[in-house]
A and B are shown apart, each in its own frame.
Chain A
Amino acid sequence: MFGFKKTFLLVCFIITLSSATEVFASGQKESIDIYSGKTGRITVYISGPAAMISKLEKAFEKEHGDVLDLVQMGCGPLRQRVWSEMEAGQIKADVFWGSDPLIYIALDNKGALEAFTPEGIEAVRDEFLTESSYTLINERYIVVIYNSKKLTEERIPSSYADLLDPGLKGFIVQADPSQSSTALAIVAGLWDIHGRNWDFYRGLAANNFFLSKKNSDVPSKIQEGEFDAGIAPHDAVLRLQKKAKKEGYPTPLAICWPEEGPLAIQRPIAISRNTARPEVNEQIARSFVSFMISKQAQKITTMFGFASVRKDLPLTVGIPGDLEIRRVDWDYLASHENDIRDGFKALFQ
């Protein structure tokens, strides 16, 4: 009889061999789409404030029924998840919304997005129309945030460049581009508007700037008094100011709209390409993307500080009307993403 030990070793051998064979074979297999979701419900990967997401879900489902499985996560995990799933063979989400254009451009280049033009696109302002497979839903502005209690009048920054003030050494914070997708977009954008060189970030590194996990940590840490100033999207500050007012406590948070013009980062939405997706789910996914540029959804997002892409909605409360926005060439930055990431890392080695 075959002994236990031999049987065990044989099983180990077979499994190891099969795993290796699987690994080799899958390299040569043609990609065949598999749909792992449920018919009649779509999975949406989504990043953003929980209360906003909840309002959007309720508004959409009021008309379409209980059809959304929302998976909330930060923009960094969203980017990581979508990319890992694409590399593993199939993006599990039908729709994903959040983060920044860089990851969507990379996914589009890999053919992982479905080309789709949502209903009502004519209501969107020209600067937000793209020829890519994704749709731009909102815009946010990268501002300098500061703690008005910690900084004296003369120290209050008025530009990105003011953060290089040695008086702020050790008290500046920004999100870590290796943990936050939007932070990578911020680094790329600021690198771009500073003449595509690293002088600005080299200066910040010399000023011992701190890297937080997420963009939303930046205003939190400044409000809490751990840091004096930082760089982050404006919308989180507006929400924190609103929350403090509602709950009855003072907040020292203030925004400086930088003199150089605030960097604009758009939040895209996209449908993943999957030929095996049932027709009913395809329709829900398309309806959801169209809903996101509707007046109703856009109004909800502006309540949470984001700027709308629609022509017929006024500027979000808290954003000055006379801003000179700095928009960057995301396609160029996407094609240099690895160089930018490595360049940033190299500043600290």
Chain B
Amino acid sequence: MFLGIILSVFILYPFSILLLRSLGISAESFKPGIDIFTRIFSKRGTWKALVNTIYTALLVTVLTAIISGILAWLVVRTDFHFKRLIKNLSFLTFIIPPYILALSWLEFLGRNGYLHRILGYIFGLKEYTLEYYSITAVAIVMSIHLYPLVFMALCNALEKHDPSLENAAIMSGATAWKTTFSITIPLIIPSFLSIGLLVFSRTMANFGVPALLALPVRKEVLTTRIYASLSDLNIDEATALSFLLVFLSGLVFTSYTLIFRKKSFATINFNGEKPRIYSLGKRKWIITAVVFLFQGITTILPLATIFISSFLKRWGLPLKLEYLTLNNYIQLLFKNDQAVAAFRNSITYGITGATFAAVIGSSIAFISHSSEAKGGKVLELVASWPMAFPNIVLAVAAILAWNTPPLALYGTPWIIIVTYMVLFTPIIMKNVTGLIQNHDRTQTFAARISGASPFRSFLDVTFPAIFPGIKSGWLLCFLIALKEIPISLMLYSSGQETIGVLLFGMQSQSYGLEMTSTLAVVIIGLIFIGNIIIQTGKRRIKNENASD
């Protein structure tokens, strides 16, 4: 009952307000209808933003599928060297927040970037016509950020499916190419589709990258148009655009769920037969060099660019010893009050939001999958909703819901914390659900038969089993809080600046890209440490399960 009220207040209420407002029903007027939608669709800019959004998401889906398909096949099905290293480098790319990747894109490829300087130094190049601000730039940066997600999923699919079908084809005389195209690829298509839809939806929901690389040249996507509408003080338009984005996300999310449910398409390797490993032959070293060049460009280069820039007195100065300084780090971590406050705020909001989400998300997962309490599935469904909502829409819904009584949270840190909680709850739920499903329920029954109350048996038997999942989910949510931009950017006020707000707006007359790079290095460092802790925890769970 308590959970039902919490979900109703913090999820259903904001989204019902969003729906009402987009249908023309608000505090200021009562004109039910679709006038707002007619208005936004009468503007060419909306159509352009819609087309750009779909184009970017499609391009990213295709690019990530091609890159990851080739990489996964090389790593799983060939005698390619350095398989572990490629996996680790891909993971490193994935943990770099996309906004920071976009920053490094500008620092490397911009007109005053390192590439132009290198080309100028070597070839005396003066004219530089690369269009580094564009929708295509957004798609490339998002592809670099998201390809590891597809790569991991495809590696997993290739490792798990039954190789006997391929072996049978080869024994029947099919060539390696024919086997790959007629057996291997069709078998992993469901994985391609489900992960592709996730990539599509994450690209569509991203705000930071298009805000940095497309908005300055007046190319809009739906998320930046929502932001611009709010900046223009046009709440109605922002609401209607949010609804449109939710509708698109909902379509993708529903398709994703349907496909994911049908994952029984995949064959299971019951007999432990090893897949055939193709030899790359003489081309092995050329292919290795190309793969490393790719990894160098997508992982090492952005990190090196950001790192070097963080030591410059001012971005744009030549790389000479006299222009290098440690002062940026000293300023950021100790002297700049706003930066110190932003770190404190992000940590506080992250911890609080993740803790609330851990309690709510794990309780819902338990009720839905383990207890006999009724309504668990409804709770799980409602709590999962925010996954289909881009962060910027969660922020718009929060503004609409919490700026007036009964719960006037706008202007207080609670509006950010509550929105984080809504965002994090499904993440914790997903993290815990698997552990609950794998948990041996006979232990709980044994505790109950021995006279333990339901709460006691949960505390002594179930909770220790799911705690590692809660812990890693909590940390994951905390790390998201350290790097997220749109929620805090839309909702912060009096002294509530977060790291995301700082990252988005640090470049000003006092600081150039050098200080944003310094902040980016610190964020990447924190995320890297956090992910090592998460991975160590997951390995421990795996080992414990194996020893059981």
| Chain A residues with a Cβ under 8 A of chain B | 3-5, 7-8, 11-12, 15-16, 19-20, 22-24, 26-27, 36, 43, 49-51, 69, 71-72, 74, 76, 79-81, 83-85, 87-89, 92, 171, 176, 178-179, 208, 210-214, 216-217, 219-220, 223-227, 236, 239-240, 243-244, 247-249, 341, 345, 348-349
Contacts and interface: CB of A to CB of B under 8 A. Distances in A.
Contact of A210 (B133, B401, B495): B133
B509 A211 contact: no
A80 B323 CA distance: 38
Contacts of B399: 84
Interface of B: 1, 4-5, 8-9, 12-13, 16-17, 20, 25-30, 43-45, 48, 110-112, 133, 215-218, 228, 230-233, 235, 313-317, 322-323, 338, 373-375, 378-379, 399, 401, 403-406, 408, 410-411, 493-495, 505, 507-510, 512-513
B505 A74 contact: yes
B28 A27 contact: yes
Given A12-B12, A22-B405, A216-B509, 7 more contacts: A22-B406, A24-B30, A81-B493, A208-B217, A226-B112, A236-B509, A248-B313
Contact of A345 (B45, B374, B512): B45
Closest 3 CB pairs of A and B: A224-B316, A225-B112, A4-B375
A324 to B, nearest CB: 26
B510 A4 contact: no
A211 B231 contact: no
B27 A219 contact: no
Contacts of B112: 224-226
Contacts of A22: 27, 404-406
Nearest to A215: B509
23 contacts: A3-B374, A4-B375, A7-B1, A8-B4, A8-B378, A15-B13, A16-B16, A22-B27, A23-B17, A23-B26, A24-B25, A26-B404, A71-B495, A79-B233, A84-B233, A92-B411, A92-B493, A171-B111, A178-B228, A212-B216, A220-B508, A223-B314, A227-B111
A15 B13 CA distance: 6
Given A3-B374, A20-B20, A214 B508 contact: yes
Given A15-B13, A74-B505, A88-B410, A176 B313 contact: no
A179 B212 CA distance: 12
A178 B232 contact: yes
A88 B1 contact: no
B235 A16 contact: no
A224 B12 CA distance: 48
Chain A's interface: helix, strand, loop or mixed, by majority? Answer: helix
Contacts of A88: 403-404, 410
Interface centre among B45, B233, B399 (most CB of A within 10 A): B233
Nearest to A305: B509
B111 A213 contact: no
B4 A223 contact: no
Given A23-B25, A23-B27, A211-B218, A216 B508 contact: yes
Contacts of A247: 313-314
A15 B510 contact: no
Contacts of A219: 509
A55 B373 CA distance: 61
B510 A8 contact: no
A178 B231 CA distance: 6
A211 to B, nearest CB: 5
Contacts of B4: 4, 7-8, 11-12
A43 B493 CA distance: 11
A345 B45 CA distance: 9
Contacts of B405: 22
A223 B322 CA distance: 18
A71 to B, nearest CB: 4
B412 to A, nearest CB: 9
B20 A19 contact: yes
Contact of A220 (B313, B403, B509): B509
Contact of B216 (A81, A85, A211, A220): A211
A76 B508 CA distance: 14
B235 A84 contact: yes
Given A8-B379, A15-B9, A20 B25 contact: yes
A310 to B, nearest CB: 24
Contact of B228 (A71, A79, A92, A179): A179
A74 B497 CA distance: 12
Contacts of A216: 508-509
Contact of B317 (A214, A217, A249): A249
Nearest to A92: B411
A259 to B, nearest CB: 26
B375 A220 contact: no
Contact of B338 (A8, A24, A50, A211): A50
A244 B314 contact: yes
Contacts of A85: 403, 410-411
Contacts of B228: 178-179
Contacts of B508: 214, 216-217, 220
A85 B9 CA distance: 22
A249 B313 contact: yes
A20 to B, nearest CB: 6
Contact of A26 (B20, B27, B111, B509): B27
A339 B313 CA distance: 43
A63 B233 CA distance: 37
Given A22-B406, A83-B233, A349-B45, A16 B25 contact: no
Nearest to A237: B509
B16 A15 contact: yes
Nearest to A181: B231
